[in-house]
Amino acid sequence: MGLVESGKLPKPLTSLLNTARKYSLWAYQWGLACCAIEMGAAFASPRYDVMRLGVIPLPASPRQADVVVISGTVTDKMVPAIKRLYEQMADPKYVISMGSCTNCGGPYWDSYSVTKGVDQVVPVDVYIPGCPPRPEALLEGIVLLQQRIGREDMAERWRGDPLVVQ
Amino acid sequence: MADAGTDTAAGTAGDEAADAPEVDEARQGVLATLADALGDALLDSHIAPGHALWVRVDRDAWVATAEAAKFRLGCTFFDYLSAIDWMPSPWGRYEDAEVGVGPTPFDHDAAFETGVAGGDTRFQIMCRLANVRRHTEPHLNVVVKADLPDDDLRVASLVPLYAGANWHERECWEMFGITFDGHPGLRHLYLPGAFEGHPLRKDFPLLARLVKPWPGIVDVEPMPGEPESGDGAGAGDDATAGEEAPE
């Protein structure tokens, strides 16, 4: 990837690479609560058929995944596992936060154990509101992420510095 | 306890539950057995005919009660163990609470409500033991309660008797701060290791509630059949009433 690291990438090449990347998203499923049912409907059922968007929802490990869909109630006890999951993923990596609980705590906004938003832990690219969101909402979130990937300047994103989770 | 005569009586009592049978001979027999085993340590009891039996025992007889239930009543199934904090919520009703209102201290002399079989202390520990070998209805089971004084929240562990009590006691320990003597390893079960406090106690502060009143109150609509008032102040009252009505 000498071209990318040089900081200058020809625009047609950027466009080509981005198109290739956005239509071969390997999505890791991080289902924590009831949103996982909707995620399962979107990812595993022929009715919604996420593979037509180029998403492969069954990577064998986070190391193969391009995007992780965190869906459900994130608890403080789960946070170390999510951090580790994110660190295990190879760059470029994206995070979709699905559902009110993951976005902000949702109905557990006053709980002693629920993390009020997974974005306190890992950077989130797309938030999907809803309690739970319908599968179509997740599909729209994926499309939004694909648009975002399509606009990305790869050289801008990879300056060789790894993303560090605080 | 398993003789045919008692079974018949219990079955009849269960069938006629709609007619409110006042006598539950099966459970009275269980109670008599426990009273015989425990003597004065059996403080109080309550029978819901055809439904359930509660006994409240002295804390020092906690294990002895379980032993009697296990070996004399055949209650080999450990259902659950938990605790109750009978303290009235010191935060008031959250829906009405104002921002930044701290807890009112617990008044040990004031009367507070406890459940069936009574109670004298803020914390009660309870467990439910059942005999699952008896296939007749109703199932023979007993709920055992014990009072724990505030300044000495500890009780003997049931793990030597019921291995299944292990995780229940670990949860109870971290959620209420009740220590179980003789437990093989009191470690956090659900909470992160560094968690401070006991979240199921009534006076555990929910920090989010301290900085923001419950936002759901704006969504509360009047119950069907209740008049909707036009003015703003009345709407607030209606909302409160609507909140109470389902109770």
Task: Work out the mean pLDDT of chain A and round it to a whole number.
Answer: 87
Model confidence band, residue B125 (pLDDT cutoffs 50, 70, 90):
very high
Task: Describe the crossing of helices B4-15 and B25-38 by its angle, rounded to 10 degrees.
Answer: 130
The predicted structure's pLDDT at residue B240: 41
Contact B192 A112 (CB under 8 A): no
- Could you say which of A76, A110, A116 has the minimum Cβ distance to residue B209? A110
Residue of A141 and B141 predicted with greater confidence: A141
CA separation (Å) from B138 to B11, B12, B15, B128?
7, 10, 9, 15
Contact A77 B192 (CB under 8 A): yes
- Could you say which of B191, B209, B214 has the minimum Cβ distance to residue A113? B191
Indicate which of A78, A79, A104, A112 best probes the interface with B, i.e. most B CBs within 10 Å of its own CB: A112
Question: Distance, in angstroms, between B212 CA and closest chain A CA?
Answer: 9
pTM: 0.74
The CA distance from A16 to A24, in Å, is 13
Please check the confidence at residue B71 and state whether its pLDDT lies above 60.
yes
The predicted structure's pLDDT at residue B156: 93
Please check the confidence at residue B225 and state whether its pLDDT lies above 80.
no
Neighboring chain A residues of B191 at a CB cutoff of 8 Å: 77, 113
What percentage of chain A reaches a pLDDT higher than 70? 89
The predicted structure's pLDDT at residue B224: 76
Output phi, psi for B49, to 5 deg: -55, 130
Please check the confidence at residue B13 and state whether its pLDDT lies above 60.
no
Question: Distance, in angstroms, between A17 CA and closest chain B CA?
Answer: 42
Give me the interface pTM, i.e. the ipTM.
0.71
The predicted structure's pLDDT at residue B114: 79
- Given CA atoms A147, A149, A154, A160 in this order, what sign does their dihedral have? positive
Q: Is A120 on the interface with B (CB under 8 A)?
A: no
Task: Work out the mean pLDDT of chain B and round it to a whole number.
Answer: 76
- Could you give all domains of chain B from N- to C-terminal order, each with its CATH number? 23-93+111-215 (3.30.460.80)
Model confidence band, residue A1 (pLDDT cutoffs 50, 70, 90):
low
Please check the confidence at residue A66 and state whether its pLDDT lies above 50.
yes
A157-161, B36-40, B69-73, B227-231, range with the lowest pLDDT = B227-231
Average pLDDT over residues A2-10: 68
Contact A50, A96 (CB under 8 A): no
- Given CA atoms B182, B188, B193, B196 in this order, what sign does their dihedral have? negative
CB-CB neighbours of A8 under 10 Å: 8
Contact B178, B89 (CB under 8 A): no
Contact A110 B190 (CB under 8 A): no
Cα Rg of chain B, angstroms: 22
Please check the confidence at residue A152 and state whether its pLDDT lies above 60.
yes
Residue of B102 and B152 predicted with greater confidence: B152
* Closest-approach residue (CA) in chain A for B188: A77
Contact A113 B190 (CB under 8 A): yes
Please check the confidence at residue A139 and state whether its pLDDT lies above 90.
yes
Please check the confidence at residue A156 and state whether its pLDDT lies above 60.
yes
Please check the confidence at residue A89 and state whether its pLDDT lies above 70.
yes
Selection from A63-77, B134-148, B196-210 with the highest mean pLDDT? A63-77
The predicted structure's pLDDT at residue B244: 41
Please check the confidence at residue B40 and state whether its pLDDT lies above 80.
yes
**B122: phi > 0 → left, psi -120 to 50 → alpha, else beta; which?**
alpha
Please check the confidence at residue B73 and state whether its pLDDT lies above 90.
no
What percentage of chain B reaches a pLDDT higher than 90? 27
Neighboring chain B residues of A76 at a CB cutoff of 8 Å: 192, 195
Whose structure tokens read 């009505």?
B245
Average pLDDT over residues B68-80: 89
The CA distance from A120 to A52, in Å, is 32
Residue of B140 and B228 predicted with greater confidence: B140
Average pLDDT over residues A42-71: 90
Please check the confidence at residue B21 and state whether its pLDDT lies above 60.
no
Model confidence band, residue B171 (pLDDT cutoffs 50, 70, 90):
very high
Model confidence band, residue B98 (pLDDT cutoffs 50, 70, 90):
low
Indicate which of A110, A113, A131 best probes the interface with B, i.e. most B CBs within 10 Å of its own CB: A110
A126-135, B6-15, B69-78, range with the lowest pLDDT = B6-15
Question: Distance, in angstroms, between B163 CA and closest chain A CA?
Answer: 26
The predicted structure's pLDDT at residue B247: 36
Average pLDDT over residues B108-118: 75
CB neighbour burial string for B61-82, b if at least 16 within 10 angstroms, e if fewer: bbbbbbbbbbeebbbebbbebb
